[in-house]
Amino acid sequence: MKSDIFIKYKRIILFNKNLLLSGSVSFLIGVITTQIYTRLDSNNISNVVITLIVGYCIYIPFFAFLFYRDNKARYIDPVTKKKKFKNIREDVIKLFGTFSISEVVFIVTKLYIHYSLLELNFQPYQALTIAELTAWVIFLVLINTGINIVKLFK
């Protein structure tokens, strides 16, 4: 029974695993960044923006690598071993559309909460943790709804 569910939802499960893995690595780097930046500069706005940028520099490439690795069979013809650029292009367009909306909501939520908590004198790592977890819950709901709407895994 469990294996039937995994087989049916394998690509969605792997997609979410990749999101959570890349997000976790990004979060850990973000915690370090926000703590270090607080010691260098007391400007909360720049702290929030720098932490966000550093996080995305980790998150996006790592997610792209994991996603490609898990879906490689869809992108390479087993007989000719050539890349199926049509499949790659279709998935990139679907991912771009879905991520665009979800990421905007994530960024606004995270920036607002992170900045607000820093202004309330929360420790930087605490502010980031609360902001990140809240934004991630909203993001995961949106991204999973989006991949179903665009039929990423038809």
Assigned token pair, 71: 């879906």
**Burial of residue 144 (number of CB atoms within 10 Å: 0-12, 13-18, 19+):** middle
d(CA 102, CA 118): 24
pLDDT at 4: 79
Which residue did the predictor score with more confidence, 88 or 138?
138
pLDDT at 6: 78
pLDDT at 53 exceeding the cut of 70? yes
Q: What is the mean pLDDT of residues 86-101?
A: 92
Q: How far is CA 137 from CA 32, 35, 47, 58, 146, in A?
A: 22, 23, 22, 19, 14
pLDDT at 8 exceeding the cut of 90? no
Q: Where are the alpha helices (DSSP H) in the chain?
A: 2-40, 44-75, 85-119, 124-149
Cα 132 from chain centroid (whole Å): 11
Assigned token pair, 79: 């007989």
pTM of the model: 0.86
Span of 5-9, 51-55, 118-122 with lowest mean pLDDT: 5-9
d(CA 83, CA 35): 43
pLDDT at 78: 87
Residues contacting residue 34 through CB under 8 Å, at least 6 positions apart: 47, 51, 114, 124, 125, 127, 128
pLDDT at 60 exceeding the cut of 90? yes
What are 109-127's pLDDT values in tens digits?
999 999 999 999 999 999 9
Look over the chain and give the mean of its residue pLDDT values, rounded to a whole number. 92
pLDDT at 1: 60
pLDDT at 2: 65
